[in-house]
């Protein structure tokens, strides 16, 4: 459980909240690169309760500006995307990528200079890497180093990005991936549809031991979870997972195969993005391979959510449940089972009503870290996940290690 006050601190992200200020201190991934066409339509982006538009200039550079034109508040999502900036279609005022007003044709010539000095469109830092557009919403000169994760250095054919736009809070979204205990229950039937090595391995693990012992270690980026399964001979199978503040969860996989990261980005208090990064650091994906990993998934990669018809998610097939299907959410990728359960909790879970168990310790650890980060930013300190020394993000990955009897995983796991 969590106090009402702490729950509010962690979940509320709209302007004026502490989390809003904290989120403005990180780089945030927002769109798949392909969404932005050079010289094409700007795309609306809502983040931490504020509205922006992202666009790609005819020369290919990416910009992010406030949605509202500072003249009379027309949406810049319908602006002309011209060489050198966006031109509002209402009165033709034009703004460059820094948000400076560079043309104001409806103002009398004598007053134009003064107007152009006075009026500015909010503009923010944007960066393109790993098949995504990332933005930084804090002051331009205080941007932290870009988190150059392993996948951001790979070729496009080694990366698959899928985004789901979901009707619930970002923390609820992230906590579903910090909770591995549900794998053997919620996904028990759907995981059988997954034919990849990673999926099979996960299923086997949960059959062997559905309640591994969890231990933790702080890293410069967040926290590392070790899920320990002891064998009869005293050795153990240890799966290390990385959680990177403020919203990244690296999913445990198997050595030598594709890797994946889930990113839970706050849109506003009641909505969030779930970004799935699937990448293979060793080679390009073969034809059909991504489809095999992502079976029964909605084809629109910019929003795979495929909204469920009711407040409680998709209708369950009760007949299939009687015949052994665990969740009744049939013929869908495992993530739709998560979406359904998360949606069933309501837009923001009231965590006063929870009764957590030992399998929930990862999310408890994460909440603690984020509450501390809120204090840090308030006190002017570098928050969690923003190391003083830009440490090596490319080295962050989950691992499976075999720990001989009598030894500790901490000694074997190399530090991130």
Interface with Fe ion (CB under 5 A) = 338
Nearer to Fe ion, 151 or 339 (CB): 339
68 is an interface residue for ligand FES by CB under 6 A: no
Q: Indicate the residue whose CB is closest to Fe ion.
A: 338
Nearer to Fe ion, 249 or 374 (CB): 249
Task: Name which position in 74, 193, 391, 412 contacts ligand FES (CB under 6 A).
Answer: 74
Nearer to Fe ion, 150 or 338 (CB): 338
74 touches, from ligand FES, Fe ion, none (C-beta below 5 to 8 Å by class): ligand FES
90 touches, from ligand FES, Fe ion, none (C-beta below 5 to 8 Å by class): ligand FES
Cβ(373)–Cβ(186) under 8 Å?
no
94 is an interface residue for ligand FES by CB under 6 A: no
80 is an interface residue for ligand FES by CB under 6 A: no
71 is an interface residue for ligand FES by CB under 6 A: yes
Give the shortest CB-207-to-Fe ion separation in angstroms.
Answer: 17
264 is an interface residue for ligand FES by CB under 6 A: no
95 is an interface residue for ligand FES by CB under 6 A: no
338 touches, from ligand FES, Fe ion, none (C-beta below 5 to 8 Å by class): Fe ion
410 touches, from ligand FES, Fe ion, none (C-beta below 5 to 8 Å by class): none
334 is an interface residue for ligand FES by CB under 6 A: no
93 is an interface residue for ligand FES by CB under 6 A: yes
Cβ(279)–Cβ(150) under 8 Å?
yes
Q: Which residues contact 246 (CB under 8 A, 6 or more apart)?
A: 22, 23, 26, 370, 373, 383, 384, 385
72 touches, from ligand FES, Fe ion, none (C-beta below 5 to 8 Å by class): ligand FES
Give the shortest CB-79-to-ligand FES separation in angstroms.
Answer: 8
Nearer to ligand FES, 88 or 133 (CB): 88
Query: By CB under 6 A, which span of 64-72, 132-140, 271-279, 289-297 interacts with ligand FES?
Result: 64-72
Nearer to Fe ion, 184 or 369 (CB): 184
Convert the chain into a string of H (helix), E (strand) and C (coil): CCCHHHHHHHHCCCCCCHHHHHHCCCEEEEEEHHHCCECCCCEEEEECCEEEEEEECCCCCEEEEECECCCCCCEHHHCEEECCEEECCCCCCEECCCCEEEECCCCCHHHHHHHHHHCECCEEEEEEECCEEEEECCCHHHCCCCCCCHHHHCCHHHEEEEEEEECCCHHHHHHHHHCCCCCCCCCCCHHHHCCCHHHHHHHHHHHHCCCCEEEEEECCCEEEEEEEEECCCCCEEEEEEEEECCCEEEECCCCCCCEEEEEEEEEECCEEEEEEEEECCCCCCCCCHHHHHCCCCCCCCCCCCCCCCECCECCCCHHHHHCCCCCCCCCCCHHHHHHHHHHHCCCCCCHHHCCCCHHHHHHHHHHHHHHHHHHHHHCCCCCCCCCCCCCCHHHCCCEEEEECCCCCHHHHCCCC
216 is an interface residue for ligand FES by CB under 6 A: no
Query: By CB under 6 A, which span of 87-95, 155-163, 309-317, 354-362 interacts with ligand FES?
Result: 87-95
77 is an interface residue for ligand FES by CB under 6 A: no
91 is an interface residue for ligand FES by CB under 6 A: yes
118 is an interface residue for ligand FES by CB under 6 A: no
Query: By CB under 6 A, which span of 89-97, 135-143, 295-303, 404-412 interacts with ligand FES?
Result: 89-97
Which residues would be at the binding site for ligand FES (CB under 6 A)?
Answer: 69, 71-72, 74, 88, 90-91, 93
């Amino acid at each position: 459980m969590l106090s009402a006050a702490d729950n509010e601190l962690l979940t509320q992200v709209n302007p004026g909240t502490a989390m809003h200020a904290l989120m403005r201190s990180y780089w945030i991934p927002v769109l798949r690169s392909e969404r932005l066409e050079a010289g094409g339509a700007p795309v609306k982006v809502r983040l931490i309760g504020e509205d922006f538009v992202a666009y790609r200039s005819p020369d290919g550079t990416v910009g992010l500006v406030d949605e509202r034109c500072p003249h009379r508040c027309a949406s810049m999502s319908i602006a002309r995307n011209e060489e050198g900036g966006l031109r509002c279609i209402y009165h033709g005022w034009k703004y460059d990528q820094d948000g400076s007003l560079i043309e104001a044709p409806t103002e009398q010539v004598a007053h134009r200079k003064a107007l152009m000095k006075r009026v500015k469109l909010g503009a923010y830092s944007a960066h393109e890497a790993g098949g995504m557009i990332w933005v930084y919403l804090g002051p331009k000169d205080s941007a932290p180093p870009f988190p150059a994760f392993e996948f951001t250095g790979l070729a496009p054919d080694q990366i698959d990005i899928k985004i789901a736009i979901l009707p619930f809070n970002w923390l609820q979204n992230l906590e579903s991936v910090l909770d591995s205990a549900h794998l053997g229950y919620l996904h028990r039937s759907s995981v059988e549809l997954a034919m990849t090595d990673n999926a099979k391995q996960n299923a086997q693990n949960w059959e062997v031991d559905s309640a591994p012992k969890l231990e933790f270690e702080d890293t410069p980026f967040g926290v590392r979870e070790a899920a320990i399964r002891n064998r009869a001979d005293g050795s153990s199978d240890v799966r290390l997972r990385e959680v990177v503040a403020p919203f990244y969860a690296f999913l445990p996989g198997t050595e030598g195969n594709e890797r994946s990261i889930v990113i839970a980005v706050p849109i506003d208090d009641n909505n969030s993005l779930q970004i799935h990064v699937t990448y293979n650091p060793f080679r390009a994906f073969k034809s059909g391979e991504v489809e095999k990993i992502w079976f029964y998934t909605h084809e629109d990669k910019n929003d795979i959510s495929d909204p469920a018809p009711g407040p409680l998610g998709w209708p369950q097939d009760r007949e299939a449940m009687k015949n052994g299907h665990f969740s009744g959410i049939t013929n869908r990728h495992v993530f739709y089972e998560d979406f359904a359960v998360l949606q069933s909790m309501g837009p923001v879970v009231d965590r006063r009503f929870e009764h957590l168990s030992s399998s929930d310790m990862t999310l408890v650890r994460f909440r603690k870290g984020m509450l501390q980060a809120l204090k840090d930013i308030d006190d002017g300190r570098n928050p969690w996940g923003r190391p003083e020394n830009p440490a090596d993000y490319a080295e962050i990955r989950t691992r499976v290690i075999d720990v001989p009897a009598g030894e500790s995983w901490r000694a074997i796991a190399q530090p991130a």
